[in-house]
Amino acid sequence: MRVLVAGHVNWDVTLRVDRLPEPDGESRIFDQQSSGGGSAANVAYDLALLDVSSGVVGSVGDDEHGLLATRELEEAGVDLSGLVRVPDGETTVKYVLVEEGGEVSMLANDGANEAVGPDDVDDAFVASAEHVHLTSQQPETAAHVARVASDAGATVSVDPGRRLADRDYGDVLANADVVFVNDREAEAVLDAPPKEAFADQVLVVKHGAAGAEVHAPEGHFEHPGFGIEPVDTTGAGDAFAAAFVATRLDGGGYERALERANAAGAYTASTEGARQAPTARALDAFVAERT
């Protein structure tokens, strides 16, 4: 296992609607699909597509949704040794609303996706990874995984996601080599300019269709993106992170990592569903056709 991914493992129900609902309004559903989801599961799955061996630390219930979600990961070759199955628990289900322009809103139940506490983590499993990628989860659990990984000599990246402003991820960020944020998170949460706040770390700022940039000790790097018309942005950020991590692990520079990460995000956003990331061959072809 080269990359361990820790965080949420969900079951997604994607509802394509004519517009996102407004208060006292109504939207029309014109398509419905179901698949595995959750940022940790998505990144691990996407890494497997890129021929990078991956594993997951997370939790599901012992219900049908948990069975379906884990089956997809197993079929992709993801190591589930660190996955906790909660007896009589319900797997978290997210309802993903996607409007015609590709914008996304989400509804979720609590479910079992944060049932893993620090004491439930197999430290040896974490320490066996070359790189650990952390996604949204209990801050205490994320901090524990980050410390174990750092102590074992692994590199650590974190993409805390939408709840960054609501949770204390200070200890997690302190142990991270790479931090992923989008524009909203960078502006709303990071008090200092990137070069001051992350002087010794790598900050990756995602700009959606407008590309992304890296602030690193080695310098500043940008890529403008690929200008696609989004169909469904669900999972695009996870595909971005997977491609960035995979490229850096294979020795690629920041320019190459940004190019492939933006390509993976664009590829995913141009199709429906969170599990539409490219294989390594498809990603190379996508980049070659547009450069």
Torsions phi, psi of 140, nearest 5?
A: -65, -40
Residue 94 lies in a domain: no
Number of domains making up the chain: 1
Torsions phi, psi of 134, nearest 5?
A: -105, 135
Any catalytic annotation for residue 238? yes
Secondary structure (3-state) at 250: coil
CATH label of the domain that carries residue 236: 3.40.1190.20
pTM here?
0.92
Q: Are 91 and 113 in contact (CB under 8 A)?
A: yes
Residue 151 lies in a domain: yes
Residue 123 lies in a domain: yes
Residue 198 lies in a domain: yes
- b/e 245-265 (16+ beta carbons within 10 angstroms → b): bbbbbeebebebbbbbbbbbb
Encode the chain (291 residues) as per-residue pLDDT tens digits: 999 999 999 999 989 899 888 888 889 998 888 999 999 999 999 999 999 999 999 999 999 999 999 999 999 999 999 999 999 999 999 998 988 877 788 888 889 999 999 999 999 999 999 999 999 899 999 999 999 999 999 999 999 887 776 788 888 988 899 999 988 888 755 655 565 666 789 999 999 889 999 999 999 999 999 988 888 888 899 999 999 999 999 999 999 999 999 999 999 988 876 678 999 999 999 999 988
Secondary structure (3-state) at 93: strand
Query: What pairing do the DSSP bridges indicate for beta strands 219-223 and 212-216?
Result: antiparallel
Please choose, from the candidates 173, 219, 175, 218, the residue with its C-alpha nearest in 3D space to the C-alpha of residue 197: 173
Which residue among 166, 238, 250, 284 is the active-site one? Answer: 238
